[in-house]
Structure 1
Amino acid sequence: MNIIYGMIINVIIKKVGVHFMKIAVVTDSTAYLEPEVAEQYGIKVVPIPFIIDNKVYNEGIDITTEEFYSKLKTSESFPSTSQPAIGELINLYTSLGNEGYDAVISIHLAGTISGLVQTIENIREQVTNIDVIPFDSKITVRLMGNLAIAAAKMAQAGKDVDEIISTLESLRSTIKEYFVVDDLQNLVRGGRLSNASAFIGSVLKIKPILTFDDESDKIVAFDKVRSTKRALKRVEDLFEENIKDRSYPLRLIVFHANNEEMAMEWKAKLQEKYPDYPIDVSYFGPVIGTHLGEKELALGWMKDIEKLDF
């Protein structure tokens, strides 16, 4: 009976010309998705190149995060980042088109810290066998990774492009984060800190707190606090201020730059303080670590994608 029913449905679909769009999801390596998670949801990850001691590495492929931070300590020159080769991007999208995908939603790190989204916008017309839709996450790290996971879940559930983009924009609006930085030198020298006068924070040996500005989407120095302990407490206070009157479930993420022990300690403290919120731990890999340096901690949060019905 089920077989006959299925045959009838197929005949109806062919007759009325219904076509279910097949949508791919791409993100970049700064999403810091575990390989098994990317594979589970069919997410393609574009590696971001970075340069240290005049050698080019592809994040997530040529070097581990631990090896990067080890090299960073002894690096003779200031590390820098680059963009994936245009030809590689075109080849990736074309290959997805050849696999039968109708569209690809390409979710990438904030346009205020990288030109990658604009590059994809510029080349999308060169890909003729698939519709390429660039999406600026206005963030990076695993917060962006969660956007990619949500998009992939929706694509697998048969949602169309407009519905996926609309949901991503809604999820993006729930994201907030604060970084506790050991030293602003990397951000200032790399040009990623818009109010660079805040560099005085490192001179005074205080802990700057940074965030992505809600209006400009640029990284800005938000506050300066003496001692890491006080800085983390300040971030917790900011979290409480930000989540007042929230009507949707949140998921928190503690981030660290080669500082896992302290990150786990902070997570334990937060979990005790906020037992109703799921809290994950993630990290700043080489590309983001190039700009932040080592030992940074951060707290980010967004609407919990695990509790969304796709």
Structure 2
Amino acid sequence: MKIAFVTDSGTGHTVEYWKEKGIYSLPLQLEVDGKSYEEGEEITYKDVIKDLHENKPIKTSLPKLGQIEDLFETLKEEGYDTIFAVPICKGISSTMNAMEMAANTHELDFIGIDCYTTAVVQGHMIEVAKRMWDQGRSLETIIKEMERIAASCDTILLVDDLNHLKQGGRLTPMAAALGGLLKIKPILHLDLETDGRIDVLGKVRTMSKAQDYVIERLKKNGVNKDYTIIVAHVDAREAAQKFGERIQKAIEGAKIEYIDLVSAVSSHTGLGTLAVQAFKPYVAI
């Protein structure tokens, strides 16, 4: 059995980054002003932030079907017989389905793992899967570990401005208008419980109260120093830093990693968004 490990730019990394690790990646598409760009390849994160500041509507979509087909055809020619994929979650993208269809077309076995989110945990899972396979671990063991990591993860979004969600069709105009009027800060999340779909956890009046809510949820879920805790932001580094410091004070031994929120999400949630992703990472035995 020869396995090709495949992911996409939802990880926040480029095709070249993953190529150096022996992993294949496909860029998601971002559409700005009616023109489509390959995320991380033809449009940078700085470009996305600039477009958000200029209030340009941004749409996202799965990698080009032709690119998926071409990659899998090449992999087939190179002697691979199996695709092991950890793409952006099925709840917000049809990338997994497109990959499976392409694999079937080229008579490749397909193992698709739903991470129920995106960003850091998605990248961690595909990297761990490749590492475990290289170490001679069985597919059954690898799949169980992927499922464990995904089940341990909670991704929470604190949205500062509802307009982008409204423009992207992910919020009704009435709800967006009402939220702005009442200064409501929706607390959104996606995980195994939501099947990778963005759902509402709660609604509060201030960002400070929203952060309190998140910290209490992390503690309630048993998040501790053994978890990887990510604080992501959309052009709000200082606010993210302060939020991370609050989490560190509330959870003994917690270490915080800070990242820019990946374009696939930030383009819909807008500027000022803060996000927390907590999961129990793989620890080699």
Normalised by the size of structure 1, how large is the TM-score? 0.82
Cα 1:224/1:277, change in 2 over 3 Å: same
Cα 1:234/1:122, change in 2 over 3 Å: same
Contact 1:52 1:75 in 2 (8 A): no
Q: Post-superposition shift, 1:125?
A: 1.2
Match of 2:281 in 1: 304
Q: Post-superposition shift, 1:188?
A: 3.7
Cα 1:80/1:110, change in 2 over 3 Å: same
The percent of aligned pairs where both chains have the same amino acid is: 29
Match of 2:150 in 1: 172
Give the counterpart letter for 2:186 in structure 1. P
Cα 1:304/1:83, change in 2 over 3 Å: closer
3-state SS of the aligned residue for 2:93? coil
Q: Post-superposition shift, 1:196?
A: 8.5
Residues 115-154 of structure 1 aligned to structure 2 (within 5 Å): 115-128=94-107, 130-154=108-132
Q: 1:230 aligns with which of 191, 209, 214?
A: 209
Give the counterpart letter for 2:142 in structure 1. I
3-state SS of the aligned residue for 2:199? strand
Cα 1:56/1:187, change in 2 over 3 Å: same
Q: Does 1:97 align with 2:76?
A: yes
Q: Does 1:24 align with 2:1?
A: no
Contact 2:29 2:62 in 1 (8 A): yes
Cα 1:152/1:278, change in 2 over 3 Å: farther
Q: Distance in 1 between matches of 2:38 and 2:221?
A: 36
Where in structure 1 are there 5+ consecutive unaligned residues?
Answer: 1-20
Residue range with higher mean Cα deviation, 21-30 or 48-57: 21-30
Q: Post-superposition shift, 1:295?
A: 1.3
Residues 44-63 of structure 1 aligned to structure 2 (within 5 Å): 44-63=24-43
Give the counterpart letter for 1:185 in structure 2. N
Aligned length: 283
3-state SS of the aligned residue for 1:173? helix
Contact 2:14 2:40 in 1 (8 A): no
Q: Post-superposition shift, 1:52?
A: 0.8
User: Between Structure 1 and Structure 2, whose CA radius of gyration is higher?
Assistant: 1
Residue range with higher mean Cα deviation, 47-56 or 163-172: 163-172
Residues 235-274 of structure 1 aligned to structure 2 (within 5 Å): 235-243=214-222, 249-274=226-251
State the Cα deviation string for residues 76-116 of structure 1 (Å, max 9, x = none): 5x221122222211221232333343422111112121111
State the Cα deviation string for residues 273-309 of structure 1 (Å, max 9, x = none): 334233211222322222111110011111122x233
Match of 1:43 in 2: 23
Q: Post-superposition shift, 1:28?
A: 0.9
Q: Post-superposition shift, 1:39?
A: 4.4
Off by >4 Å, runs of 4+ in structure 1:
34-37, 195-198
Normalised by the size of structure 2, how large is the TM-score? 0.88
Give the counterpart letter for 1:54 in structure 2. G
Q: Distance in 2 between matches of 1:208 and 1:297?
A: 11
Match of 2:261 in 1: 284
Q: Distance in 2 between matches of 1:196 and 1:71?
A: 21
Q: Post-superposition shift, 1:230?
A: 1.9
Give the counterpart letter for 2:155 in structure 1. E
Cα 1:40/1:275, change in 2 over 3 Å: farther
Q: Distance in 2 between matches of 1:280 and 1:65?
A: 18
3-state SS of the aligned residue for 1:147? helix
Contact 1:22 1:155 in 2 (8 A): no
Q: Distance in 2 between matches of 1:123 and 1:24?
A: 14
